Chains A and B, each alone.
Chain A
């Protein structure tokens, strides 16, 4: 099992540029989560999908952030335009809803730096 795959692992971009983060969940998992982690705010849930449908996007900070899940094996998180305060580590996680315990498996993360 390859685990959750995220790309890129590191991204450095200038303020105002568009950033796209990618995630491939574990095969067979039907829930996918996007988190952001910073020293100040810890690990925050941005949005999660179940069966490719967004269920809760209340954590998405503002309209500059958008997420899609076009199929069961791929999701993107886009920031447009990016700002320095978006600098953080972004994690994608997946789980299989319905099989207890509801364990979430995290990907390795994307470290985003916006200058």
Chain B
């Protein structure tokens, strides 16, 4: 079992709809959770971080964490073509080491 698992996609969502990205992790002692966005040919950039159970909202983005079920999700409301990218889920335990999933490729269809 991989430490961090994501559906590789591609996930296609119509413009203006809600895009839902999911991630599961295997290590129960994981403490911090991150979503990175990576455009084709570019480097990953952090868009959301979440540390406690529940929802965290930032603009059109909402991160959801459920430690009991060991999953974290990212919702993108009012999806725009500029949201088309690969989204990487990352998990951190006590030290600084991040473990990344392989990413979900999202395409927003105009």
Contact = CB atoms under 8 A, between A and B. Distances in A.
B62 interface: no
Given A103-B46, A108-B43, A42 B102 contact: yes
Contacts of B98: 33, 45, 104
A97 interface: yes
Interface in B79-110: 88, 92, 95-103
A101 B97 contact: no
B71 to A, nearest CB: 18
A72 to B, nearest CB: 16
Contacts of B45: 106
B86 to A, nearest CB: 10
Nearest to B8: A42
A102 B32 contact: yes
Interface string A71-114: 00000000000000000000100010100011110111100000
A31 B96 contact: yes
Interface residues of B, number: 18
Does more than half of chain A's interface fall in helix, strand or loop, or is it mixed? strand
Interface residues of A, number: 22
Contact of B100 (A42, A48, A102): A42
B46 A102 contact: no
A50 interface: yes
Interface in B44-60: 44-46, 49
B97 A45 contact: yes
B43 A109 contact: yes
17 contacts: A31-B96, A33-B96, A33-B98, A42-B88, A43-B44, A43-B88, A43-B100, A45-B97, A45-B99, A45-B100, A55-B96, A56-B95, A95-B96, A103-B46, A103-B49, A104-B46, A106-B44
